[in-house]
């Protein structure tokens, strides 16, 4: 009998605690569409794009926020369905603490620096859509971007300056 009372008390307490979790201050509606087919991504997971940033002297950075070594890179899409007229790109990866527009370097190398990605209009925050690129169903669609080092601290130290980003193509 005592066990039943204890179990009933725990169940009631759990139910009361979960009631407050359902209180809401607003609502978000998520919309989207799953399409039959997409463009062929040339730079996919099995054939990643390697962007050489070069060897840059630490003296190229004049302080926090200064940049160096802008390097163009291009993602390519082929065989796009005629129903797809445009695409944006979302990059993601590990960010520098406090700045979602700077990709953190992998450990064991340079410090005080990260990598910024830009499209034709501005610096891209990670997990945010780029500008829209028009798509053609025939030929290769080039989606051009720029990567550059950016100082994240007053002092930059020498070492390997590598980073990894993933990307997702969103069609419009």
Whole-number pLDDT of residue 19 = 45
The residue range of the domain holding 64 is: 38-49+57-171
Q: Does 133 reside within a domain?
A: yes
Q: Phi, psi (5° rounding) for residue 15?
A: -70, -40
Whole-number pLDDT of residue 5 = 43
Whole-number pLDDT of residue 31 = 80
35 vs 169: CA distance, rounded Å: 13
Q: Does 16 reside within a domain?
A: no
Whole-number pLDDT of residue 21 = 59
Do residues 143 and 74 lie in contact, with contact meaning Cβ atoms separated by under 8 Å?
yes
42 vs 48: CA distance, rounded Å: 9
Q: Per-residue pLDDT for the chain (172 aa), expressed as one digit of tens each?
A: 444 444 444 444 454 444 445 678 888 887 888 888 899 999 877 788 999 999 999 999 999 999 998 999 999 999 999 999 999 999 999 999 989 999 999 988 999 999 999 998 899 999 999 999 999 999 999 999 999 999 999 999 999 999 999 999 999 8
Whole-number pLDDT of residue 22 = 67
Question: What CATH number did the domain enclosing 97 receive?
Answer: 2.60.40.1090
How many structural domains is the chain composed of? 1
Q: Does 138 reside within a domain?
A: yes
Whole-number pLDDT of residue 37 = 86
Give the sheet arrangement for strand 40-41, strand by strand. 40-41, 67-78, 140-151, 113-118, 99-103, 95-96
Q: Does 27 reside within a domain?
A: no
78: left (phi over 0), alpha (psi -120 to 50) or beta: beta
Whole-number pLDDT of residue 46 = 74
Q: Does 93 reside within a domain?
A: yes
């Amino acid at each position: 009998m005592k066990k039943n009372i204890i179990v009933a008390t725990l169940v009631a307490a759990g139910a009361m605690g979960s009631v407050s979790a359902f209180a809401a201050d607003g609502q978000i509606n998520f919309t989207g569409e799953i399409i039959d087919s997409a463009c062929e991504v040339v730079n996919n997971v099995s054939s990643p794009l390697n962007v050489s940033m070069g060897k840059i002297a630490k003296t190229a950075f004049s302080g926090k926020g200064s940049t160096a070594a802008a390097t163009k890179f291009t993602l390519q899409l082929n065989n796009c369905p005629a129903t797809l007229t445009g695409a944006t790109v979302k990059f993601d990866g590990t960010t520098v603490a406090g700045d979602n527009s700077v990709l953190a370097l992998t450990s064991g190398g340079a410090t005080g620096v990260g990598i910024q990605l830009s499209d034709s209009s501005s610096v891209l925050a990670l997990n945010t859509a780029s500008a829209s690129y028009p798509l053609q169903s025939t030929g290769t669609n080039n989606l051009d971007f720029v990567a550059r080092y950016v100082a994240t601290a007053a002092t930059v130290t020498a070492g390997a300056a590598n980073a990894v980003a993933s990307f997702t193509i969103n069609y419009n």
